[in-house]
Amino acid sequence: MATVGASSYKNYIAGEWVDAAGGDTFESISPANGDTIGVFPKSSAEDVDRAVEAAKAAYEEWRLVPAPKRGETLFRFAQLLTEEKDELAELMAREMGKVLPEAGGDVQEAIDMSFYMGGEGRRLFGQTTPSELRDKFNMSVRMPIGVVGAITPWNFPIAIPSWKILPALVCGNTVVFKPATDTPLLGQRFVELLTEAGLPKGVLNVVHGGGGEVGERLVRHPDVRVISLTGSRETGVAVLRAAAEGLKHVHLELGGKNAIIVLDDADLDLAVEGIVWSAFGTSGQRCTAASRVIVQRGAYDQLQQKLVAATERLRLWEADTDVGPVINKGALEKIHSYTEIGKGEGARLLTGGEVASGNGLDSGFYYRPTIFGDVDADMRIAQEEIFGPTTALIPVADFDEAIRAVNSVKYGLSSSIFTRDVNKAFRAMRDLNTGITYINAGTIGAEVHLPFGGTKDTGNGHREAGQAALDVFTEWTSIYVDYSGKLQRAQIDTEEHPSP
């Protein structure tokens, strides 16, 4: 464990790098080996207030910068991210524990989002529509809203900030960003590069610190009009409550309990590949991770045997590893507690189920990829979000029971079905109640130009990415232009316009 010589970092407020007003700090620790990555300001309400004041002041000018010019800043940011991709991926491997190819994918998603939202600077389409009256023109235009509070988790430390901050900026808002306390250095690098791309002072501010202090104040601050949060269901509920008094726009991306269906007619080798990637990629810490595999009985034994064999071939942290550590000690303990819960519920532990140690793993937070068999759809391990490398095999009789099982959880983020029957595939697309559905692929692999988000307790009806993101960060103004030169009265009965 190395702590000596770790660099100190600051908040970024009104274009200046500054310490927390109270002078407190916290450390970012590598989950791979316990090294200290850096020391960060542990901020308080006072720091948030200063950042919001800066963002509010900057808004008056930024909203008037032509949207295509705002977009050009994002194109430059995409270029800088591309140049720094390897350095960022390597930092992500150290600070968050993602294996290198996945860390590169995380950065690539931000590059893609930056190009996509940069292009939005030349679209931001509104509507024109006929008027009820002669010599009158109607249109609706998207308007920026003001100061946005962006609160992010640690599991996509570059991609998720990009999903929020880039559409917010191109739409003409200014931002106060609170990164997760497990990945503050990646948040810091994100802000440094976006600043280097040419953002004016105060347009983007970063305030480091905990959810209870920085996050809460951001949500309650009267001058923050929009809150965009990705995190757990519990945090989402707390944020929604805190924001209610101020009637904020609140955009929530919350937990998941994603499922893959494997029918009797599926290509089982393909399904196994999809399950291993979806269940154990990012050590099961993706919001779309497949923590349930719902298998028709005819395929169950063969699938179980192939899946356990493939899982036992996965390598934990090594130079060319497959599965990295989980984010911190608390996560390791929570994941293991669900192993105990699963055993207690009568599920059959097929592989894993323990902390991984030896071979240099002891100073990090590693858990063996874990599979439970013979799981009932209503067991806690099949209903609750574990957020680790644990998946549950649930045998079912037929297609209808499989669909019911997928839909039986409170979350609704991502689902998938492996089948060669086109009719069943289309029925699944219609009947799976999730925001994202894959056919013959795992539960992960979203692309930035499609809406991203979930039904039920996964959110509150908004979507991230694609055109849908613009609805979070703009409000509509409807504009009526009368060029008749006389008073034309609408919404009143006249001889010219009698009521029907």
What amino acid positions are annotated as catalytic residues? Answer: 253, 287
Does the footprint of ligand NAD cover residue 387 (CB under 6 A)? Answer: yes
With tokens 């948040």, the residue in question is 187
Please report which helix (H) or strand (E) contains residue 375, including its range.
none
Which residues touch 330 (CB under 8 Å, ≥6 apart)? none
Per-residue string for binding with ligand NAD, 341-380, x by CB under 6 A? ----------------------------------------
The answer to whether the beta carbons of residues 164 and 204 sit under 8 Å apart is no
Does the footprint of ligand NAD cover residue 287 (CB under 6 A)? Answer: yes
By CB under 6 A, what part of segment 425-454 binds ligand NAD? 454
**Min CB(251)–ligand NAD separation in Å:** 11
Choose between 42 and 424: whose C-beta lies nearer to ligand NAD.
Answer: 42
Going across the sheet that includes 136-144, the strands are 127-129, 136-144, 474-482
Which residues touch 262 (CB under 8 Å, ≥6 apart)? 268, 271, 275, 293, 294, 295, 296, 299, 303, 417, 418
Does the footprint of ligand NAD cover residue 332 (CB under 6 A)? Answer: no
Does the footprint of ligand NAD cover residue 239 (CB under 6 A)? Answer: yes
Choose between 255 and 369: whose C-beta lies nearer to ligand NAD.
Answer: 255
Residue 300, φ and ψ in degrees, nearest 5 = -60, -55
Q: Which two tokens stand for residue 426?
A: 């289309």
Does the footprint of ligand NAD cover residue 238 (CB under 6 A)? Answer: yes
**Min CB(276)–ligand NAD separation in Å:** 20
Does the footprint of ligand NAD cover residue 105 (CB under 6 A)? Answer: no
Does the footprint of ligand NAD cover residue 256 (CB under 6 A)? Answer: yes
Q: Shortest CA distance to 401 belongs to which of 381, 424, 385?
A: 424
Largest CA distance in the chain: 88
Does the footprint of ligand NAD cover residue 155 (CB under 6 A)? Answer: yes
Choose between 180 and 276: whose C-beta lies nearer to ligand NAD.
Answer: 180
The region of 85-93, 121-129, 248-256, 335-343 touching ligand NAD under the rule CB under 6 A is 248-256
Choose between 254 and 417: whose C-beta lies nearer to ligand NAD.
Answer: 254
Per-residue string for binding with ligand NAD, 169-198, x by CB under 6 A? ---------x-xx-----------------
Does the footprint of ligand NAD cover residue 235 (CB under 6 A)? Answer: yes
Give the DSSP letter string of 380-395. HHHHS---SSEEEEEE
The answer to whether the beta carbons of residues 308 and 475 sit under 8 Å apart is no
**Min CB(267)–ligand NAD separation in Å:** 29
Beta strands in 30-88 (DSSP E): 36-41
Which residue in 13, 48, 88, 151 binds ligand NAD (CB under 6 A)?
151
* Rounded-to-integer distance, Cα 414 and Cα 397, Å: 22
The region of 137-145, 252-260, 314-322, 400-408 touching ligand NAD under the rule CB under 6 A is 252-260
Choose between 53 and 109: whose C-beta lies nearer to ligand NAD.
Answer: 109
The region of 108-116, 186-194, 254-262, 358-366 touching ligand NAD under the rule CB under 6 A is 254-262
Does the footprint of ligand NAD cover residue 211 (CB under 6 A)? Answer: yes
The answer to whether the beta carbons of residues 48 and 218 sit under 8 Å apart is yes
With tokens 């793993």, the residue in question is 361
Does the footprint of ligand NAD cover residue 413 (CB under 6 A)? Answer: yes
Cα torsion 243, 178, 58, 118 to 10°: value is: -100
The region of 70-78, 133-141, 214-222, 350-358 touching ligand NAD under the rule CB under 6 A is 214-222
Which residue in 152, 195, 278, 370 binds ligand NAD (CB under 6 A)?
152
Does the footprint of ligand NAD cover residue 215 (CB under 6 A)? Answer: yes
3-state SS of 238-296? Answer: HHHHHHHCCCCEEEEECCCCEEEEECCCCCHHHHHHHHHHHHHHHHHCCCCCEEEEEEE
Does the footprint of ligand NAD cover residue 154 (CB under 6 A)? Answer: yes
Q: Shortest CA distance to 325 belongs to which of 129, 96, 39, 121?
A: 96
**Min CB(305)–ligand NAD separation in Å:** 30
Residues that bind ligand NAD (CB under 6 A): 151-155, 178, 180-181, 210-212, 215-216, 219, 229-232, 235, 238-239, 253-256, 287, 385, 387, 413, 454, 458
